[in-house]
């Protein structure tokens, strides 16, 4: 007799969805806590991105030991990236605040151009986060190079990453501060989901 239950893909029920949602919330909280010293933020992002990549690729999350190993391995290489990222974000935020407050000449047109530049930079950085995850949390320089290649070859993916970053930033402002760490895990997962819709360039290749 034919067994229909063995035909076709296995359907996910609400328990699977709830499990994934909980795992992403825990990931976001762990990411936020690990990034609190600021200089560890790049290492925390790299480890979280690698964990999400494993979940999408292998269907399961890496163990806690593997996550800690990746985090520790990325601490020193990521310290400079953390400081540089915070400095760039701070300068861009000050620039936007000055334009929005009318303290810098240029008005609405310059504010719009600056906002678009910020969105483009955020999208590029988001693709670098995806690439570092694909490399197991190692190699920010190669990840940045690969992300630049994706921006040139697939501007649609770049635009989608910009959109995800913008929505995440907007939600971070609107939601209660307690929910921001949870949002971080969902943002990383959304970036990987967007990037997987296109064939990304291998690490180290333009």
- What digits encode the pLDDT tens for the residues 52-88? 999 989 888 999 999 999 999 999 999 999 999 989 8
Listing DSSP states for 109-121 in one string gives HHHHHHHHHHHHH
CB of 137 within 8 A of CB of 34?
no
Exposed, middle or buried, 6 (CB in 10 Å: 0-12/13-18/19+)? exposed
The pLDDT assigned to 36 comes to: 93
Measured at the CA of 157, the angle between CA 70 and CA 113, to 5 degrees, comes to 105
For residue 8, what pLDDT band results from cuts at 50, 70 and 90?
very low
Question: Pick from 92, 95, 116, 117: which is nearest to 104 by CA?
Answer: 95
């Amino acid at each position: 007799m034919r067994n229909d239950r063995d035909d076709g893909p296995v359907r996910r029920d609400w328990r699977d969805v709830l499990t994934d949602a909980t795992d992403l919330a825990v990931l976001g909280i762990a990411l936020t806590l690990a990034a609190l010293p600021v200089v560890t933020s790049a290492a925390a992002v790299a480890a979280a991105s690698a964990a999400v990549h494993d979940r999408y690729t292998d269907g399961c999350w890496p163990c806690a030991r593997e996550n800690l190993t990746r985090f520790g391995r990325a601490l020193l290489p990521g310290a400079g990236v953390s400081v540089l990222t915070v400095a760039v974000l701070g300068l861009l935020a000050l620039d936007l605040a000055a334009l929005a407050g009318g303290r810098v000449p240029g008005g609405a047109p310059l504010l719009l151009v600056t906002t678009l530049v910020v969105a483009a930079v955020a999208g590029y950085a988001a693709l670098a986060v995806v690439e570092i995850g694909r490399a197991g949390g190692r190699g920010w320089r190669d990840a940045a190079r690969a992300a630049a290649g994706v921006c040139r070859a697939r501007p649609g993916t770049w635009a989608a990453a910009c959109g995800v970053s913008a929505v995440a930033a907007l939600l971070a402002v609107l939601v209660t501060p307690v929910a921001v760490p949870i949002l971080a895990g969902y943002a990383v997962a959304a970036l990987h989901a967007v990037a997987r819709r296109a064939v990304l360039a291998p690490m180290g290749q333009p």
